[in-house]
Amino acid sequence: MTLTEHASATLQRQAGRLEEQIALALQDPAEDPVHDFRVAIRRLSQTLRLFAGLFPDKQARQMRRALKPALSAAATVRDLDVDSDLLVKLELPADHALLSKMHADRQRAALALTGHLYLLRSQEIPLGWAQCFTTLRETGEDAALAARALLPPLAAEFFKAGRKTALKGSAERFHAFRLAAKRFRYTLEVFRPFYGPVYEKRLEQVREIQSLLGKRQDCAVTAALLRPLASIDPAIGTVLSHVEHRGASLENEFLEFWHHQFDAAGEVLLWQRYLSRRPPTSNHERTNPTQVHRSRQRHPEERRGASGN
């Protein structure tokens, strides 16, 4: 499979998934459908970013921009859902005025999101892009080999950013690295078909980083909402203290996971070796053992790494 063929198939599949999520969110803009819509739109946006060079001019960027208003509207709804859930979990009284206000805000935000979803439908987004996805520039480049050229330096950049975050942790750095983890994870997912079982374990590690920092960011957003009210409402002041403590605990969980698992001694080298290792043997090579033997003689490092995916 060429890189162009893989890009086309991936984009078409993700566009179909996004269309499904639009339909579900229009039917019921509840917490889960809105969350799934956001994930679908982010995956498609990252894939458009990844394969932008296969589109004419700035077409991929224009597509990503067309998705942003609906994504922003969904983010407003999602933030209110997360904030409300967290406040209830931390025992803010269910009849508190703040929760009532957030419920009303959520209803208005859901209506605004519904308007954006209908607008996407009226503009035939994303299904109207299907033809564009089938006419991408053909490079002739093998998709599996392209993955092995692209992913190792991306992994190195991810480790570098993570080390800076772990060394000089700040609200801004944690938030930025969370976004980097999302982009890295979605990029890894695009090339999942060209690797084996260990790839899933590495994906899960990135997902864990994203999850920890995502929960920490939820605490930061909720704390920012509560601080102006804490001095005039004792109940909110108590919950704010719990939120801040939870956020600090999540930061520590991330740092523990980062130092002792993800970035343990030698891990970055293992990541790069795995991501750049020789693709699985093709049917043609299986029928030509002499060629395979010579190829493996030329790539001893890949041969050592071939014992498992």
pLDDT one-digit tens code per residue, 67-115: 999 999 999 999 999 999 999 999 899 899 999 999 999 999 999 999 9
Q: Is residue 198 part of a domain?
A: yes
Whether the upstream peptide bond of residue 234 has omega within 30° of 0, thus cis, is no
Q: Are residues 180 and 70 in the same domain?
A: no
The C-alpha atoms of residue 71 and residue 137 are separated, in whole angstroms, by 28
Residues 186, 260, single domain; the answer is yes
Look at residues 133, 166, 192 and tell me which one is the last residue of a structural domain: 133
pLDDT of res. 169: 78
Q: How many CA atoms lie within 13 A of 180 on its CB side?
A: 18
* 308 located within any domain: no
Asked whether the beta carbons of 61 and 52 are under 8 A apart, the reply is yes
Full domain range(s) for residue 83: 3-133
Asked, for residue 73, whether it belongs to a domain, the answer is yes
For residue 175, give the CATH number of its domain: 1.40.20.10
Among 185, 187, 165, CA closest to 251: 165
Task: Please tell me whether residues 156 and 259 are part of one structural domain.
Answer: yes
Of 217, 216, 146, whose CA–CA distance to 187 is shortest? Answer: 146
Q: Is the same domain home to 188 and 209? A: yes
In a domain, 289, yes or no: no
Q: What is the pLDDT of residue 155?
A: 97
- The 10s digit of each residue's pLDDT in 18-76 is 999 999 999 999 999 999 999 999 999 999 999 999 999 899 999 999 999 999 999 99
Question: Is residue 288 in a domain?
Answer: no
pLDDT reported for residue 278: 80
Which pLDDT score, from 0 to 100, does residue 171 have? Answer: 87
Q: Is the pLDDT of residue 245 over 70?
A: yes
pLDDT of residue 281: 61
| Confidence (pLDDT) at 284 | 44
298, part of any domain? no
Same domain, 123 and 240: no
Report how far residue 69's alpha carbon sits from residue 119's, in angstroms, rounded to the nearest whole number. Answer: 10
User: Could you read off the pLDDT of 196-208 as tens digits, one per residue?
Assistant: 999 999 999 999 9
Domain boundary among 95, 113, 133: 133
- How far apart are alpha carbons 202 and 96 in whole angstroms? 43
Report how many domains make up the chain. Answer: 2
For 113, other C-beta atoms within 10 Å of its C-beta total 25
User: Does a structural domain hold residue 287?
Assistant: no
Dump pLDDT digits (tens) for 256-291.
Answer: 999 999 999 999 999 999 999 887 665 444 444 434
- Rounded to 10 degrees, what is the CA torsion of 211, 215, 217, 218? 140
On the question of pLDDT at 292 being above 90, the answer is no
- Where does residue 298 rank: exposed (0-12), middle (13-18), buried (19+ CB within 10 A)? exposed
pTM for this model (two decimals): 0.86
Q: What percent of the chain has pLDDT over 70?
A: 90
pLDDT at 282: 53
**What separation in angstroms does the CA of 161 have from each of 100, 154, 258, 265, 288?**
40, 11, 12, 17, 44
Mean confidence (pLDDT) of the chain: 90
Q: Does residue 202 fall inside a structural domain?
A: yes
147 and 129, same domain (yes or no): no
Question: Same domain for 243 and 120?
Answer: no
> CA-CA distance, 270 to 290, in Å (whole number)?
29
Tell which of 86, 109, 133 closes a domain: 133
Same domain, 208 and 99: no
**Whole-number Å distance between alpha carbons of 291 and 22:** 50
